[in-house]
């Protein structure tokens, strides 16, 4: 459990690595080129380190969120019920899921300290304009943890649609929980649950704990 929680915490650090213009280079080069810059920001930003959630949210909103395909991530996380959702329900789901992820990762960023990152060869996998970028998180005194980004290109614009930490997909992790909520209250029930979690996180006192990255604790 501790390893799983630490994995999601460290993943949040690396999710803040999308600073360059979308069309600047191939995704592998992009990730390598910007990761150290963001880690440097986190090491030097005393406000984020001291728990300033507003600064962490601002960092994610301006530097990270534009490079994630939240619509695709939401559809994958919701699964089959997405096909039955109305256009308005889909719009609300994407917005609430985006808010949940941004706030969750903002909390995690405040717990960053001394992790480093190394990269592995990332050959293209699958057909079409999709690629997986392989890396690993290194923490002094601990075992490396694999971190894989799945990206897709549309008109040369690379965006992340899933992240796997130690082989566990973020999308799949949420899908199981979303399926339970849909089973109990349909799409509207899932929307209500997401809205309640987001309202709660907006007023909660910041506590940068790794367990905040799980669905139940978000």
Residue 149 is predicted with a pLDDT of 85
Q: How confident is the model at residue 44 (pLDDT cuts 50, 70, 90)?
A: confident
Range of the domain at 90: 2-204
Which pLDDT tens digit goes with each residue over 10-23? 555 555 444 444 43
| Average pLDDT of the segment spanning 58-74 | 87
Higher pLDDT, 44 or 156: 44
Q: Could you tell me what percent of the chain has a pLDDT over 90?
A: 32
Higher pLDDT, 85 or 211: 85
Query: What is the count of structural domains for the chain?
Result: 1
Task: Give 48's contacts (C-beta < 8 A, 6+ positions apart).
Answer: 42, 55, 56, 59, 109, 110, 112
Determine, yes or no, domain membership for 24. yes
Residue 27 has pLDDT above 70, yes or no: yes
Determine, yes or no, domain membership for 179. yes
Determine, yes or no, domain membership for 215. no
Determine, yes or no, domain membership for 166. yes
Determine, yes or no, domain membership for 218. no
Determine, yes or no, domain membership for 196. yes
Determine, yes or no, domain membership for 45. yes
Determine, yes or no, domain membership for 212. no
| CATH number where 135 lies | 3.10.450.710
């Amino acid at each position: 459990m501790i390893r799983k929680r630490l994995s999601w915490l460290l993943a949040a650090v690396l999710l803040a690595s999308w600073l360059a213009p979308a069309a600047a280079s191939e995704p592998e080069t992009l990730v390598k080129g910007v990761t150290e810059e963001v880690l440097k920001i986190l090491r030097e930003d005393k406000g984020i380190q001291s728990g300033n959630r507003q600064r962490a949210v601002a960092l994610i909103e301006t530097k990270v969120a534009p490079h994630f395909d939240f619509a695709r991530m939401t559809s994958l996380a919701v699964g089959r019920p997405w096909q039955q959702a109305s256009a308005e329900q889909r719009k609300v789901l994407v917005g609430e899921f985006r808010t949940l992820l941004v706030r969750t990762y903002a909390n995690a960023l405040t717990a960053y300290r001394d992790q480093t990152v190394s990269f592995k060869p990332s050959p293209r996998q699958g057909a079409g304009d999709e690629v997986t970028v392989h890396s690993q998180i290194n923490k002094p005194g601990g075992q490396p943890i694999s971190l894989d980004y799945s990206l897709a290109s549309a008109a040369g614009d690379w965006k992340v649609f899933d992240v796997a930490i130690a082989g566990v997909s973020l999308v799949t992790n949420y899908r199981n929980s979303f399926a339970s909520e849909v089973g109990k209250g349909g799409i509207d029930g899932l929307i209500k649950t997401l809205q309640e979690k987001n309202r709660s996180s907006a007023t909660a006192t910041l506590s940068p704990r790794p367990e905040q990255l799980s669905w139940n604790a978000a």
